[in-house]
Homo-oligomer: A and B are copies of this chain.
Amino acid sequence: METLRRRIDVIDRRLVRLLNDRARWAIALGGIKSQRRLPIYQPAREEEVIGNVQRCNGGPLESAALRRLFERIIDESRWIERSAIDRREAPSASRTRVSGTARPDDAQD
């Protein structure tokens, strides 16, 4: 069991690198969208992403599982794109927007 778990840990570290690579490209994309005044949320593109991954799926994960996984990944991408844009546009406001745990009384600090 330990051997299998160490193999999963190795895969997980590679997943972290790839997910961070993806996040960096998403931030770059968010910057372009912001310059061109395009919305961050583009439902047609999100379906394209899901379709792309489902087409190349060799299993054992089912199509529906991949959809759930990539909905989460896309959701985090959208969040990080927005955070990066907010930081660029209003650096002083970045703290409350980025933390995700901002309380209404934070403004009193």
Question: Is the CB–CB distance between B20 and A8 below 8 Å?
Answer: no
**CB within 8 A of A20: which of B17, B58, B68, B80?**
B58
- The reply on A23 being an interface residue by CB < 8 A is yes
Residue from B5, B18, B73 within 8 A of A18 (CB atoms):
B18
Please give the count of copies of this chain that the complex contains: 2
CA distance A62 to B4 in the complex (A): 27
Contact with A16, one of B22, B57, B76 (Cβ below 8 angstroms): B57
The interface on chain A, measured as residues whose beta carbon lies within 8 A of the other chain's beta carbons, has a size of 52
Provide a sorted-by-A list of 16 A–B residue pairs whose CB atoms are within 8 angstroms.
Answer: A4-B28, A5-B29, A8-B26, A8-B29, A11-B25, A15-B73, A16-B56, A16-B57, A17-B58, A18-B18, A19-B61, A20-B60, A20-B61, A65-B76, A65-B80, A72-B72
- With contacts A8-B26, A13-B56, A61-B76 known, what are 19 further pairs, Cβ within 8 A? A1-B33, A4-B25, A8-B25, A8-B29, A9-B52, A11-B21, A11-B25, A12-B53, A15-B18, A16-B53, A16-B66, A17-B58, A19-B66, A20-B59, A27-B60, A60-B84, A62-B98, A65-B80, A68-B76
